[in-house]
Amino acid sequence: MIINIAIDGPAGAGKSTIAKRIARQLSFIYVDTGAMYRAMAYYFIRKDIKPEETERIEEACGQADISIAYENGEQQVLLNGENVTPYLRTEEVGNMASASSVNPKVREKLVSLQQKLAASKSVVMDGRDIGTKVLPNARVKIYLTASTHTRAQRRYEELCAKGETCDLEQIEKDIAERDYRDMHREISPLAQAEDAVLVDSSHMNIEEVVERIIEIYECNSR
Ligand code: DC
């Protein structure tokens, strides 16, 4: 039987780390939908398209074929056949992804790909609109969040560990802007689905969050 778990929440809430662990524990496939929006955004950046150039975004969207593959259990995103995964986790790409994901053509294309994946395999899928739009019938829906400051601090540490120069204040400002955009866009804004369980990880470590979500999954599976 195919079972889907939807995890939504704002940037830096720890969705991907948590979703990956849960997928591993339950032997489900992990699907990072943010990486798909990032791959599309990376394509726009490469084409020197600005977030406000709607027509160019829509035209380029038709030329960008996004697919996913797995290497040693890790999701890889292919853009027109090229593995672009190593280039996706920068602030520039994240900001462009937030801005370009308001476009209905971009969303339509990626939502359809996400729904196909979830129809063929049990997945733990994370994003912004998974519980509300992509998988409205998911067995378990989680809305994972944390305070803006905690999320900025985590993103700062993640970037520092990768050796990237970064500024905590700027990251916090970017996160607040991105939250605002993701929550206020017209189509599929980031929101907690009515039947989602809220998990605030501000004062929880990774293990505690994983344990809590597995507990929710087990309750829903009885
Ligand atoms: O989760 P992330 O930071 O990798 O996502 C990057 C951007 O992609 C995010 O700011 C908004 C967009 N996104 C979206 O609109 N819908 C999703 N399901 C996932 C991401």
**pLDDT (tens digit, 9 = 90+) per residue, 197-209?**
999 999 999 999 9
Reported as a pLDDT band with limits 50, 70 and 90, residue 164 is: confident
Buried b (16+ CB within 10 A) or exposed e, 11-46: bbbbbbbbbbbbbeeeebbbbbbbbbbbbbbbbbbe
Residue to mutate (ligand 1; options 66, 98, 100; most atoms within 8 A of CB): 98
Residue whose C-alpha is closest to residue 67's, from 38, 36, 93, 90: 36
Q: How far, in Å, from the CA of 140 to the mean position of ligand 1?
A: 20
Q: How far, in Å, from the CA of 37 to the mean position of ligand 1?
A: 6
The pTM for the full model equals: 0.93
Contact 66, 109 (CB under 8 A): yes
Q: What is the CATH number of domain 4-220?
A: 3.40.50.300
Beta-carbon contacts of 119 under 8 Å, excluding residues fewer than 6 positions away, are 2
Ligand 1 pocket, CB under 6 A: 11, 33-34, 37-38, 94, 97-98, 101, 127-130, 178, 182
Ligand 1 atom at shortest distance from the alpha carbon of 15: 1
**pLDDT (tens digit, 9 = 90+) per residue, 30-82?**
999 999 999 999 999 999 999 999 999 999 999 999 999 999 889 999 999 99
Question: How many percent of the chain have pLDDT more than 70?
Answer: 100
Instruction: Say whether pLDDT at 96 is over 90.
Output: yes
pLDDT of residue 166: 85
Reported as a pLDDT band with limits 50, 70 and 90, residue 222 is: confident
pLDDT (average), residues 3-17: 95
Instruction: Say whether pLDDT at 29 is over 90.
Output: yes
Reported as a pLDDT band with limits 50, 70 and 90, residue 165 is: confident
**Higher pLDDT, residue 58 or 11:** 58
Q: How far, in Å, from the CA of 33 to the mean position of ligand 1?
A: 7
pLDDT (average), residues 132-148: 97
pLDDT (average), residues 23-31: 97
**Higher pLDDT, residue 42 or 163:** 42
3-state secondary structure (DSSP) of residue 124:
strand
Per-residue CA distances from 40 to 13, 18, 51, 121, 157 (Å): 22, 24, 12, 23, 26
